[in-house]
Amino acid sequence: MRHLYTFTLIAAVAEAGSMRRAAEDANITASALNRRIRRFEAEFGCEIFERLPGGVRLNPAGEMILHHFRTIRSDLQRVQGQVADLSGERRGHVRVACSQALLPYFLPQQIARYRADHPGVSFAVNVRDRAQAEAELQSFSSDLVLVFEPVSLVDFEILHAAPQRVMAVMRADHPLAAQPEIRLRDVLAQTYVLPTARYGVRHILDRAARRLQHSLAPAVETESFELIRHYVVHERAIGFQIPIGLRVPAVPDAPDALVARPLAERDVPRGAVFLGQMRGRTLPVASARFALQIAAALAGLPD
């Protein structure tokens, strides 16, 4: 919408930190962009950018302007969705920030199910850790967050929480694979692979190890749960994941097939996958309806 174009340019400059880079992205000249923002500042009554030797950054007034723009854009998207619903054809764009565990199975299934009924709705899915996901809500970069054990809940409105046990993932011929439930002290005596401290699984395991007066010493530490899943096949190590991110056969068909065993809850308490949105925000129609579907799907997960 044309009357929001200036705000879009302001957001682009704030993100790029440079008039020149933002102008290149917007396919206009830097001088034209600078004149447009100067004109806005004159009409608004104050400057919104600090001009620095290496670029620009928003000042406090600019931060308020950008937050106002994001709120307006969100409200317009909500109204557009409501108008589309009047015609019986739902449209919109749903932006989701999520933990890696939701990517392989749960989220693709839910998005495909939603689009089967509403093909006019598109999705953007961004992989984010716990802190990044909450920041996405605050900046209106995402409508919904699906994250395991968020860092804080100050501006986070919980729509649903689904309990999840921490699972040990290993080859079927691993010495611990025959046990239906595994004690943490037994795991710590083996070779194991861990996600970094940014992730909820690691946060829970760190706390559990401290209670046992142990410090974690992984053979491999990584930000990729995909790497963990594949690495345990090669060294007969133990990795960790939550059930929503796993799909392993009940009966392994080969010694190097993966199996998953729950860690004893007396050692490692359950965490939870949280579905949430920005507190106080009214979501666009498509995002709000998708959130209802996700909440119902989470509620139907096995305990």
pLDDT band at 232 (very low <50, low <70, confident <90, very high): very high
Is 72 domain-assigned?
Answer: no
Amino acid at 270: R
Residue 225 structural domain: 166-269
Q: Residue 16: what pLDDT?
A: 84
Q: Are residues 34 and 102 in the same domain?
A: no
Q: Are residues 264 and 179 in the same domain?
A: yes
Decide if pLDDT at 270 tops 90.
yes
Q: Are residues 136 and 97 in the same domain?
A: yes
Last residue of a domain, one of 48, 64, 80: 64
Pick the most confident of 129-138, 153-162, 166-175, 249-258: 166-175
Q: Residue 273: what pLDDT?
A: 93
Q: Are residues 180 and 241 in the same domain?
A: yes
Decide if pLDDT at 86 tops 50.
no
What number is the average pLDDT over the span 146-172? 88
Model pLDDT for residues 23-34, shown as the tens digit of each residue: 888 888 888 888
| Rounded Cα–Cα distance for residues 51 and 19 (Å) | 10
Is 98:134 a contact under the CB 8 Å cutoff?
no
Q: Residue 116: what pLDDT?
A: 94
Is 83 domain-assigned?
Answer: no
Is 56 domain-assigned?
Answer: yes
Number of domains in the chain: 3
| Rounded Cα–Cα distance for residues 300 and 146 (Å) | 16
Is 74 domain-assigned?
Answer: no
What number is the average pLDDT over the span 182-196? 95
| Rounded Cα–Cα distance for residues 302 and 164 (Å) | 9
| Rounded Cα–Cα distance for residues 266 and 263 (Å) | 9
Decide if pLDDT at 89 tops 70.
no
pLDDT band at 2 (very low <50, low <70, confident <90, very high): low
